[in-house]
């Protein structure tokens, strides 16, 4: 598009611009100047006098030379010219006028009477020829006529210039409109289009002229479009801003719109009528319309709509959309008397992964998981992300629990494969709760709440599985909730207590260590064991604070034993949770607590389970290396039931393997063979590691271990976990 302000300025003469296109009125000849050229003095002055008497402005010239001088001032409108003059004659003057002053009219007044001289004069540009001697009225009439003709011609010229400028102005305005402006004839063919058609639809104007509008309308929108394009009404009742799609030219023009082949527009149109004689009805000639491209706005609306109803990270529906779909599905299920399942899925230990690998990796994990979950679903199912690591799934049209269970199992199966994040393999599992319509709830809220409750149940029963909602879960659920609040307060209220379980050197028969085991003296429910509140504490992150309290209390106890002189050679084993280890300040915290109570590294053994290592091996290695550098010992707890790879045995600064009690439980007699215990013992010796066998409940098991020359063991047979006082007593008696 040219910025046409410049040509506008250039083309609009000041005359037209200032008077808004009106033509100057020049019928009054008073302003016209007439030049009388004659070498005869009398003739000259008499003509001059005559003209002046009739109100004309006059100049006199005695010959051709003087005439040319006056002409050069540019102000002469009409010249009365003698032909025969000395020097420059009338013909020469006329040639000069024709050449240089085309705006000046010439009337020859001459004594030459031949026909040839008259035609020659006319050929040279004279407007008229008057013979001397002239009749004064004749001269005045001819002068008057010529001047009037001049003024008429000038009027027409000005008018044309004016029209041309006006045409330019309207064309400029129409072509530079941001909208397409068109006119159709009375049968719907384009008769006018502005240039905007090119940028919006990609067509040249010529390609559309004469074509029917329906060729350019999206076929699904034709009904709507016809209504507007065929508009015959005018004024307020005409169509305004009707939305539909137009087809773009399928070209490779460098406009991005055209790739989508159609754009959404808004059309306003009205009928156009030709003016008729007063008594005749107006004739419909076609429609005039304005097409506005609203595809950008549509796109923005779509984006906003998507954002309103989707989770932006996983692109899954959000809670709002899920509720909407569930609502619809419930109505359908009611009508068709069918069932549907609402599932609540919560990722196990997501918080730990997120805290340890970082939020970016956490996001990636969620995206990958969302894709995997989606791949287990049918078209009609809706999976929504409703919280950090929480998903809701709607499975409509099922026959009953079996169908729902199948979907849940499929999901769990699909999630078994590890997810690779930053080069690490991360294992993910979900706790799933299922509520079935209609038996487990009839409304959105009840179904979602009950599936949530079932999920919670799964969580507290070992995670990684699914459970159907059952009425008795309500009570359990409320217990869980109040438990969570209880744990928060238990620390302030000093309701936690450490028990200590002896670790015995079975070869020498002496106490060589103690494991600190937490107990919760619940105000209403009595003494609670770790299994009843540690998983929940881990899930909620409260374990970090609890863990620090345990470390602090265990170290304080060690100090007390030393002060009382009861033991210097007894190690204290403390259990550490994944969330604790992932704390960026973990090793600092441990060392600070040790320093606070004057505990040396060799007295403290930190117990970690194999699945901690599974989550972030590198972090664990670097942290334990720092602690090991300060003498702190590390034990792998419940060894043998967790991780399948033993590669960590080489990279971790390990001291002890605690063999899980399941391996000894089968041993009945001293002569029994438990190949695993034997194998682990052999391996431990090879790696120069100490071994503690857990869960020793019978004398036969002790004998068995003695026979294998396994030195350390822990179990009810050797000593139950006991409170501080009892254990101090035991150590004193030693």
Taking the complex as a whole, the smallest distance from the CB of residue 535 to ligand C2E amounts, in Å, to 9
Choose one: 123-131, 377-385, 395-403, 712-720; the region binding ligand C2E (CB under 6 A). 712-720
CB 389 within 8 A of CB 366: yes
Q: How far is CA 290 from the centre of its chain?
A: 31
529 binds, among ligand C2E, Mg ion, none (CB under 5 to 8 A by kind): ligand C2E
| Minimum distance of ligand C2E from residue 406's CB (angstroms) | 34
**Does residue 637 belong to the site contacting ligand C2E (CB under 6 A)?**
yes
Q: Which is nearer to Mg ion, 64 or 513 (CB)?
A: 513
Task: Determine if 396 is a binding residue for ligand C2E (CB under 6 A).
Answer: no
Q: Where are the strands (E) in 328-389, listed by range? A: 339-347, 382-385
Question: Taking CB under 6 A as the rule, does residue 530 contact ligand C2E?
Answer: yes
Between 352 and 518, whose beta carbon lies closer to ligand C2E?
518
Q: Which of 38, 266, 638, 690 binds Mg ion (CB under 5 A)?
A: 638
Residue 158 interacting partner from ligand C2E, Mg ion, none (CB closer than 5 to 8 Å by kind): none
Q: Rounded CA gap, 190 and 186, in Å?
A: 10
By CB under 5 A, name the one of 104, 151, 503, 575 that touches Mg ion. Answer: 575
Positive/negative CA dihedral, 440, 446, 447, 452: negative
In the complex with ligand C2E, the residue whose CB is nearer, 184 or 550, is 550
- Note whether 529 binds ligand C2E by CB under 6 A: yes
CA dihedral 354, 355, 359, 363 (to 10 degrees): 0
Integer CA distances (angstroms), 450 to 75, 93, 281, 473, 698, in order: 103, 113, 73, 9, 45
Residue labelled with tokens 């470390």: 551
Write out the binding residues for Mg ion, residues 255-284 only, by CB under 5 A. none
Other C-beta atoms lying within 10 Å of the C-beta of residue 359: 9
DSSP assignment of 22-65 = PPP----GGG-EEEEE-S-HHHHHHHHHHHHHTT-EEEEESSHH
| Distance in Å, CB of 521 to ligand C2E, minimum | 14
CA distance 384 to 344: 10
Q: Which is nearer to Mg ion, 332 or 532 (CB)?
A: 532
Instruction: Please report, as residue ranges, which positions from 606 to 635 form the binding site for ligand C2E (by CB under 6 A).
Output: 607
What's the rounded Cα separation, in Å, for the pair 445 and 322? 12
C-alpha dihedral, 88 to 93 to 99 to 101, nearest 10°: 130
For Mg ion, give the closer residue by CB, 390 or 697: 697
Q: Does 697 bind ligand C2E (CB under 6 A)?
A: yes
Give, as ranges, the residues between 557 and 586 that touch ligand C2E (CB under 6 A).
575, 577
Q: Which of 213, 547, 606, 655 is close enough to bind ligand C2E by CB under 6 A?
A: 547
CA angle at 274 for the pair 272 and 275, rounded to the nearest 5° = 130
Of 279-287, 417-425, 431-439, 693-701, the segment contacting ligand C2E by CB under 6 A is 693-701
| Shortest Cβ 596–ligand C2E spacing (Å) | 18
Q: Is 66 helix (H, G, I), strand (E, B) or coil?
A: helix
Q: Cβ 642 to Mg ion, closest distance in Å?
A: 11
Q: Considering the complex, what minimum distance in angstroms separates the CB of residue 588 from Mg ion?
A: 23
Residue found by looking up tokens 């993910």 in the block: 428
Structure tokens at 666: 């089968």
Task: With beta carbons less than 8 A apart as the criterion, state whether 305 and 400 touch.
Answer: no
Judged by CB, which is closer to ligand C2E: 308, or 529?
529
Q: Determine the length of the chain.
A: 734
| Minimum distance, C-beta of residue 640 to Mg ion, in the bound complex (Å) | 10
CA distance 313 to 308: 13
Of the candidates 499, 525, 571, the residue with the CA atom closest to the CA atom of residue 716 = 499
CB of 672 to ligand C2E, least distance (A): 17
Pick the piece of the chain touching ligand C2E (CB under 6 A) from 73-81, 302-310, 393-401, 708-716: 708-716
Number of chain residues interacting with Mg ion (CB under 5 A): 5
User: Minimum distance between the CB of residue 657 and Mg ion, rounded to whole angstroms?
Assistant: 11
User: Is 637 a residue that touches Mg ion (CB under 5 A)?
Assistant: yes
CB of 328 to ligand C2E, least distance (A): 46
In sequence order, the β-bridge partners of residue 510 are 505
| Under rule CB under 6 A, residue 664 binds ligand C2E | no
Q: Which stretch binds ligand C2E (CB under 6 A): 350-358, 370-378, 695-703, 722-730?
A: 695-703
Question: Bridge partners of 271?
Answer: 287
Query: Which one of ligand C2E, Mg ion, none is in contact with 721 (Cβ closer than 5 to 8 A by kind)?
Result: ligand C2E
Strand blocks (E) in 294-428 = 339-347, 382-385, 390-398, 419-421, 424-426
Q: Tell me how far, at minimum, the Cβ of 715 lies from ligand C2E, in Å.
A: 3
To the nearest whole angstrom, how small is the minimum distance from the Cβ of residue 374 to Mg ion?
A: 39
Rg (CA), the chain: 52
Q: Which does 632 bind (CB under 5 to 8 A by kind): Mg ion, ligand C2E, none?
A: none
In whole angstroms, how close is the CB of 679 to ligand C2E at the nearest point? 20
Stretch that binds Mg ion, among 246-254, 357-365, 456-464, 605-613 (CB under 5 A): 605-613
Instruction: State the nearest-atom distance from the C-beta of 303 to ligand C2E, in Å.
Output: 46
Q: What tokens appear for 197 in the block?
A: 């058609």
Q: Does 518 bind ligand C2E (CB under 6 A)?
A: yes
The answer to whether residue 695 forms part of the interface with ligand C2E (CB under 6 A) is yes
Contact residues for 435 (Cβ-Cβ < 8 A; gap 6+): 341, 342, 343, 344, 441, 446, 447, 448, 450, 451, 454, 468, 469
Pairing state of beta strands 465-468 and 496-505?
unpaired
**Count of residues binding ligand C2E (CB under 6 A)?**
23
Per 3-state DSSP, what percentage of the chain is helix, strand, and coil (rounded to 5)? Answer: 45, 25, 30
Q: In Å, how far are 262, 567, 699, 712 from 733, measured between CA atoms?
A: 92, 11, 22, 20
Which of the ranges 162-170, 278-286, 591-599, 687-695 carries the binding residues for Mg ion, by CB under 5 A? 687-695
Site for ligand C2E in 11-30 (CB under 6 A): none
| Token pair for 536 | 């929940």
Q: Is 534 in the site for ligand C2E (CB under 6 A)?
A: yes
Which residues are near ligand C2E by CB under 6 A? 501, 517-518, 529-531, 534, 547, 550, 575, 577, 607, 637-638, 661, 694-697, 714-716, 721
| Site residues (vs Mg ion, CB under 5 A) | 575, 607, 637-638, 694
């Amino acid at each position: 598009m040219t910025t046409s302000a410049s040509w506008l300025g250039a083309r609009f003469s000041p005359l037209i611009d200032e008077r808004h296109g009106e033509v100057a009125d020049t019928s009054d000849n008073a302003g016209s100047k007439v030049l009388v050229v004659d070498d005869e003095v009398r003739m000259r002055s008499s003509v001059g006098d005559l003209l002046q008497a009739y109100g004309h402005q006059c100049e006199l010239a005695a010959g051709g030379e003087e005439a040319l001088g006056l002409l050069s001032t540019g102000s002469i409108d009409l010249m009365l010219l003698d032909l025969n003059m000395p020097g420059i004659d009338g013909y020469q003057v006329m040639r000069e006028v024709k050449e240089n002053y085309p705006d000046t009219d010439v009337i020859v007044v001459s004594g030459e009477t031949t026909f040839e001289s008259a035609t020659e004069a006319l050929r040279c540009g004279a407007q008229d020829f008057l013979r001397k001697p002239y009749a004064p009225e004749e001269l005045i009439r001819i002068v008057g006529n010529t001047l009037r003709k001049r003024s008429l011609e000038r009027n027409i010229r000005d008018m044309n210039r004016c029209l041309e400028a006006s045409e330019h102005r309207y064309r400029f305005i129409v072509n530079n409109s941001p909208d397409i402006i068109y006119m159709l004839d009375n049968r719907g063919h384009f008769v006018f289009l502005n240039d905007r058609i090119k940028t919006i639809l990609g067509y040249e104007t010529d390609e559309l002229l004469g074509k029917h509008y329906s060729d350019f309308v999206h076929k699904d929108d034709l009904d709507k479009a016809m209504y507007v394009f065929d508009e015959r009404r005018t004024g307020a009742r005409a169509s305004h801003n009707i939305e539909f799609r137009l087809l773009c030219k399928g070209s490779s023009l460098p406009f991005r719109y055209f790739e989508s082949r159609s754009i959404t527009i808004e059309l306003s149109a009205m009928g156009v009528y030709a003016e008729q004689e007063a008594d005749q009805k107006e004739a419909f000639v076609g429609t005039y319309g304005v097409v506005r491209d609203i595809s950008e706005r549509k796109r923005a609306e779509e984006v906003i709509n998507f954002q309103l109803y989707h989770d932006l990270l996983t692109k899954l529906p959000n809670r709002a959309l899920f509720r909407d779909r569930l609502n619809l599905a419930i109505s359908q299920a009611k009508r068709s008397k069918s069932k549907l399942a609402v599932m609540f899925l919560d990722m196990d230990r997501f918080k730990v992964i997120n805290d340890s690998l970082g939020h970016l990796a956490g996001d990636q994990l969620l995206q990958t998981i969302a894709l995997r979950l989606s791949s287990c679903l049918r078209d009609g199912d809706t999976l929504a992300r409703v919280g950090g690591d929480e998903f809701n799934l709607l499975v409509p049209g099922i026959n009953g629990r079996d169908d729902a269970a199948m979907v849940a199992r499929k999901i769990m199966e699909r999630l078994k494969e590890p997810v690779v994040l930053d080069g690490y393999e991360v294992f993910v599992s979900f706790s799933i709760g299922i509520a079935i319509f209609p038996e487990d709830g009839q409304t959105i809220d009840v179904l979602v709440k009950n599936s949530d409750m079932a999920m919670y149940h799964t969580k507290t029963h070992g995670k990684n599985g699914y459970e159907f909602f059952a009425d008795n879960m309500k009570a359990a659920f409320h217990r869980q909730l109040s438990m969570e609040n209880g744990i928060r307060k238990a620390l302030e209220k000093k309701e936690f207590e450490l028990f200590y379980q002896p670790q015995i050197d079975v070869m020498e028969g002496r106490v060589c260590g103690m494991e600190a085991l937490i107990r919760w003296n619940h105000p209403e429910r009595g003494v609670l064991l770790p299994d009843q509140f540690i998983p929940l504490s881990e899930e909620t992150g409260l374990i970090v604070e609890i863990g620090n309290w345990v470390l602090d209390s265990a170290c304080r106890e060690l100090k007390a034993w030393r002060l009382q002189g009861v033991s210097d050679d007894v190690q204290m084993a403390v259990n550490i949770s994944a969330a604790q280890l992932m704390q960026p300040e973990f090793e600092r915290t441990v060392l600070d607590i040790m320093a606070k109570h004057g505990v040396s590294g060799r007295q403290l053994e930190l117990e970690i389970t194999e699945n901690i290592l599974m989550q972030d091996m590198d972090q664990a290695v670097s942290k334990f290396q720092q602690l090991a550098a300060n003498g702190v010992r590390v034990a792998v707890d419940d060894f043998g039931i967790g991780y399948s790879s033993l590669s960590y045995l080489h990279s971790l600064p390990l001291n002890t393997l605690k063999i899980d009690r399941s391996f000894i439980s089968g041993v009945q007699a001293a002569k029994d063979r438990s190949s695993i215990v034997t194998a682990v013992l052999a391996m431990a010796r090879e790696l120069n590691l100490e071994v503690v066998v857990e869960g020793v409940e019978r004398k036969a098991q002790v004998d068995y271990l003695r026979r294998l020359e396994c030195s350390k063991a822990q179990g009810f047979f050797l000593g139950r976990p006991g409170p501080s006082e009892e254990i101090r007593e035991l150590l004193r008696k030693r």
